[in-house]
Homo-oligomer: A and B are copies of this chain.
Amino acid sequence: MDKLTVTREHRPDDIAVTIGPSRIGNGEFLLIAGPCAVETPEQMAGIVAMLAGNPAGMLRGGAFKPRTSPYAFQGLGRDGLVLLREAADRLGIPVLTEVTDTTHLELVLEFADAIQIGSRNMSAYELLKAVGRQSKPVVLKRGMAATVREFLYAAEYIVAGGNEQIILCERGIRSFDPTYRNVVDLNTVAWLKAHCPFPVVVDPSHGSGRVDLVTPLSRAAIAAGADGLMVEVHPNPGCARSDGDQSLDPAAYRDWHRACLDLARFMGRTC
């Protein structure tokens, strides 16, 4: 097997990642929230209102959406990035958004403070090389059937390009049970915290596909050692153009926010 430098054997200490005014890792806890896809100015105004009351450390939202069907809403592209940037600026927090192809990277970097590599692209190695050659932080989501070893090597691609500002994201693995969209794998969170220096966030929205499971899974992730959470929120999930079933509405987001921060503080995290 080839060398692997993204483990504590080579980098014993926690690596904290800084995104503008926000920080994650080495004891600092980060909430990332936002819609699945940027849809309209009205939707983004609703998001701003939600996050103004219960602050997150980073705004997430998709402008280039990887959708199973070519006929499903593919995102607003550049217009979506503009709306996302404006919303984040109003909140004074950084922007995280996904890049799904190397040819979009330059455009996305104009607007984003951190780049998301989605689950479907964890093994898109040319894309990993490309985000490794630039310096903004990268949220690397685990592939839906990727082993821990494959996940680490994907991070190694980014590090090999020169970028060590990596946040690993566990977002659920594919299982045999149709009850859930995916199953959150906290074995991997606990393993990563023990063996890998990068901050780890958990995405319970994709990790379950069900809004009723988001809070208990979020709290479980914190107790397993996660450094942050990423959730999908929407001012009106019933009207969302994607992922409505797993998006928190304003009331649920408020309850989730308090439940998570209380536990993170109990676990000794700074937040």
Contacts and interface: CB of A to CB of B under 8 A. Distances in A.
B104 A147 contact: no
B178 A263 contact: no
A239 B193 CA distance: 28
B160 A67 contact: no
Contacts of A67: 125
Contact of A176 (B101, B120, B174, B184): B174
Count of identical protomers in the assembly: 4
A62 to B, nearest CB: 13
Contacts of A213: 187, 190-191, 194
Interface stretch (A22-30, A86-94, A215-223, A244-252): A215-223
A66 B125 contact: yes
B145 A144 contact: yes
B179 A207 contact: no
A131 to B, nearest CB: 13
A interface, over-half SS: helix
Interface stretch (A45-53, A149-157, A229-237): A149-157
B186 A220 contact: yes
Contacts of A187: 172, 179-180, 183-184, 207-208, 213, 217
A126 B103 contact: yes
Given A126-B100, A185-B175, A220 B224 contact: yes
B194 A66 contact: no
Given A208-B187, A216-B190, A149 B179 contact: yes
A3 interface: yes
A37 to B, nearest CB: 14
Contacts of A223: 216, 219-220, 222-224, 263
Contacts of A179: 147-149, 187-188, 191
B176 A69 contact: no
A72 interface: yes
Q: Which 9 pairs across A and B sit closest by C-beta, in order of nearness?
A: A145-B145, A101-B126, A223-B223, A190-B216, A120-B123, A220-B224, A2-B69, A219-B223, A220-B220
18 contacts: A66-B123, A68-B123, A69-B153, A100-B126, A120-B124, A124-B124, A145-B176, A147-B178, A148-B177, A174-B176, A175-B175, A183-B183, A186-B217, A187-B207, A187-B208, A187-B217, A219-B224, A223-B223
